[in-house]
Amino acid sequence: MNIGYFYLAIAIAAEVVATSALKASDGFTKTGPTILVAAGYGVAFYFLSLVLKTVPVGVAYAVWSGVGIVLIALIGWLFMKQALDAGALAGIGLIVAGVIVIQLFSKAAAH
């Protein structure tokens, strides 16, 4: 396995934590969540920069943003009681399908 994809998993996890803390930061007026947002995004971008040493930027960003979108939507649904209607679920399904297609069929993803 390419170490870049391990770093990408860390970048995605950090970005998801940071994005999840944005709501709790209340417009950056609450110190704890604000620190979590800043630290999470810092870790995410640091590891994304490491990813780009071995994974093409287009592939890395597509996977990072796609998986991040899906995870944030799930967190919103599970923990923040945000509704996901049929259109949202269909869109999320297409994002997942796109990430799978990139990973399975793109020669660029293998570099």
Q: Average pLDDT across each block of 10 residues of the chain; the chain has 111 residues. List them in order.
A: 90 96 95 98 97 91 91 92 92 90 78 56
What pLDDT is attached to residue 103?
A: 80
d(CA 15, CA 37): 8
Number of domains in the chain: 1
Please give the angle made by the CA atoms of 36, 37 and 42, to the nearest 5 degrees: 95
What pLDDT is attached to residue 106?
A: 79
What pLDDT is attached to residue 12?
A: 97
Residue 98 belongs to what domain range?
Answer: 3-110
What pLDDT is attached to residue 108?
A: 73
- Residue appearing with tokens 């967190």: 75
